[in-house]
Amino acid sequence: MRLRAFRMILALAAVIGAQFPSATAAFVSAEGWEALRQPGAVAIMRHALAPGTGDPADFRVDDCASQRNLDERGRAQARAIGEAFRANGIAVDRVLSSQWCRCLDTAELLGLGAVEELPPLNSFFGGHGSREPQTERTRAFLDALPEGERAVLVTHQVNITALTGGYPSSGEVFVLNVRDGGEVEITGRIMISP
């Protein structure tokens, strides 16, 4: 009987989630915004929606036409995330990004400040970089952030997973507490659907 009731609850949650996806996003966001207000919190996010996986065989970091890019939904999602930061009163000191066009575009569309390129945030998926050295350089960067500085880092799923062990959706923000040595703890998650 309990198993049947549990299955019914799961089915009902799936139906509600499909019809009202923003209700789930708002719940996750409430916790995430509070975590982001804490001293020393850092936001790291996966670039907004960009259909496909990886990049074409002729990929070049200096040519957006050779890359997988944001679609219209991704551009709308990036703008909505930036608007949500402002609506929640989150001031940002620095915005840093992978050099991939979908990350740079996401960072720009957030509208949270000037965007700085940070090569350790570049994707290492498909042999484009090197997981361990890039993750260690990202940790070193986080460890060196001045106390109280709030940064937003825009990068790729593989980079975030290597750093945190978590698996973000497109456009999802992980709120991090950075400890000495650049070790991180996920203290909140923010997801704004397009």
Structural domains of the chain ordered from first start: 35-190 (3.40.50.1240)
pLDDT digits (tens, 9 = 90+) for 122-164: 999 876 678 899 999 999 999 999 988 999 999 999 999 999 9
* Residues, the chain: 194
What's at 21, amino acid-wise?
P
Report the SS3 class of residue 8. helix
Report residue 29's pLDDT band, with 50, 70 and 90 as the boundaries: low
φ/ψ of 146, rounded to 5, equals: -60, 145
Report residue 58's pLDDT band, with 50, 70 and 90 as the boundaries: confident
Helix axes 157-164, 131-144, angle to 10 degrees: 70
Report the SS3 class of residue 45. strand
What's at 80, amino acid-wise?
A
What's at 71, amino acid-wise?
D
Q: Where would I find the H helices in 66-191?
A: 72-87, 101-110, 131-144, 157-164
Across the range 13-33, mean pLDDT stands at 50
CA distances from 100 to 30, 50, 165, 185 (A): 30, 12, 22, 26
Report residue 95's pLDDT band, with 50, 70 and 90 as the boundaries: very high
pLDDT surpasses 60 at 22: no
Give dist(CA 158, CA 97) in Å, integer.
14
